[in-house]
Structure 1
Amino acid sequence: MPDPSPFAVPTRYDGADDRVALVLPGVGYSPARPLLHFARAVLLQHGWTVQELWWQIPADFSRLTVEDRIAWVEGQVTRAVDAEDGACRLLVGKSLGSLACGIAAGRGLPAAWLTPVLTYDHVVRGLRATQAPTLLIGGSADRLWDRRVAESTQLDVLEIPSADHSLELAGDTAGSVGALRQAVTRLNRFIDSLGRR
């Protein structure tokens, strides 16, 4: 069980590169789940230091207003970014983590949002405001994803056909593995492109 502090389970890379990527989970999708596990592996492979957030969702979270949910996520992410003393140069977030896209836009941080919550105007505004390289990955069967909205942001977008909010295909294990491969391959290309800037 993770430590209840918001940035409790750091994964460090001991290379010469001190760029920090902050990995943000979803509501019930921890950094140990497949998308974020392999996102961490990709980041480490490219020489990033990875800091994972293992946040403890408040018990009354489902009863909070959208504004209060956004404020809670932004508070958690702001503290984690500030704790890195300027070394945090990338956000990688799943679902709920995408509520921090305004922070990424405001601080000029590149970001990769895996299944961002495109049904929240706050998220869409943050994505449209960003000037930094940003990747959006979602599935066509995810009710929180909207391909037209994603493409309207003019960002790097990958939509995986028939994939749900976990980027899995219902009743299709092999297809789900294929969807994960697509997401990881695109994320790898995106992270590689940041290293060449």
Structure 2
Amino acid sequence: MAGLLPYVNAAVSHRCADVELIWWAPPANQPLEARSSWVYEQVTPVVEKLQAPLLIGKSLGSYGAAVAADRGLPGVWLTPLLTMPACAVALRRATAPFLLVGGATDDLWDGTLARELTPHVLEVDGADHGMQVAGPLRETAEVLGQVMTAVEAFLDDVVWR
């Protein structure tokens, strides 16, 4: 769902936190499983200039979990690449709380692993990697509502109590 990140950014902004967006064009000649170090290099300089950041990433951005783990930072990982070893290893090293959001029909999601890694998990039955579900679009919009409810609860109850 293309709308996930703008809504998560809005949730953060509504809590009077600054949002620093990272725009990138991933190297096209690199397979997905080889891009973890590239993401690390993109995220690190941004994190280094911020005070007490919360990292948020979708899909490829979940490789940023290694940066969060290295610095003890919380994170929100939307449709994380749980089947990619670099992502799973980074999440296992994390010491700060993080939220994982994924769709049960996403080939890059592993619900069992997600629940082993953190108590903060939203797994949506029938949702794919874009967090879309088959059927009327209203049902995908309802998924967006579920995701935002989980994100806002995580921000309010865990990150910024």
TM range (shorter): over 0.9
Matched, 1:81 2:39: no
37, 53, 57: which one aligns with 2:26? 57
Matched, 1:37 2:45: no
Equivalent position of 2:17 in the other structure: 48
Deviations 1:21-76 (A, max 9, x none): xxxxxxxx8xxx30001001100111110011111222323xx4733x11111000
Q: Over aligned residues, Cα RMSD in angstroms?
A: 1.5
Task: Report 1:169-188 matches (<5 A).
Answer: 169-188=133-152
As a proportion of its length, which structure holds more helix? 2
As a proportion of its length, which structure holds more strand? 1
Q: Partner of 2:152: helix, strand, or coil?
A: helix
TM superposition outliers: structure 1 runs of 4+ over 4 Å: none
How much has 1:88 moved relative to structure 2?
A: 4.5
Equivalent position of 1:152 in the other structure: 116
How much has 1:171 moved relative to structure 2?
A: 3.7
Equivalent position of 2:33 in the other structure: 66
Equivalent position of 1:14 in the other structure: none
Q: Is the alpha carbon distance of 1:123 and 1:171 closer, same or farther for their aligned partners in structure 2, counting shifts above 3 Å? A: same
- For the 8 Å contact 1:104–1:130, the answer to whether it is kept is yes
Matched, 1:96 2:60: yes
Deviations 1:103-140 (A, max 9, x none): 10110000000000011111111111111010000011
Deviations 1:78-124 (A, max 9, x none): 12212x2x415200100000111111011000000000001111111
Larger Rg: 1 or 2? Answer: 1
Q: Is the alpha carbon distance of 1:159 and 1:150 closer, same or farther for their aligned partners in structure 2, counting shifts above 3 Å? A: same
Equivalent position of 2:160 in the other structure: 195
Distance 2:155 2:32 in 1: 34
Unaligned runs of 5+ in 1: 1-28
Give the TM-score taking structure 1 as reference length. 0.77
Equivalent position of 1:4 in the other structure: none
Q: Partner of 1:89: helix, strand, or coil?
A: coil
Unaligned runs of 5+ in 2: none
Aligned length: 160
